[in-house]
Amino acid sequence: MSSASIELLGFAAAALTSLCWLPQAWRTITTRDTRAISLWTQSLFAAGTALWLTYGVQLGSGPIILANTLTLILVLTIVTMKLRFG
């Protein structure tokens, strides 16, 4: 597999795994219903995502940086909503 193909594979994976958080973030923003969301789980996930982002930056890996930047934004939105609306 060529280097370009591997990068495209990484970006496709990044898009799919990051965008899966979009429906939850959208629902949380529009309904403000956070009762079923675990703050502990979302916080740990955000911390892990931040570490993955740092790792990606250190490697200079575009797919890792993109995936974890998008995911971190969405998960932090959910955490913020959870803190604000309980």
Domains defined along the chain, listed by start: 3-85 (1.20.1280.290)
pTM: 0.89
Which of 55, 82, 84 is CA-nearest to residue 68? 55
CB 65 within 8 A of CB 57: yes
pLDDT of the residue at 38: 96
For residues 79 and 66, give the distance between their C-alpha atoms in angstroms, rounded to a whole number. 20
Band (pLDDT 50/70/90 cuts) for residue 1 is confident
| pLDDT digits 0-9 by tens, 22-74 | 999 999 999 999 999 999 999 999 999 999 999 999 999 999 999 999 999 99
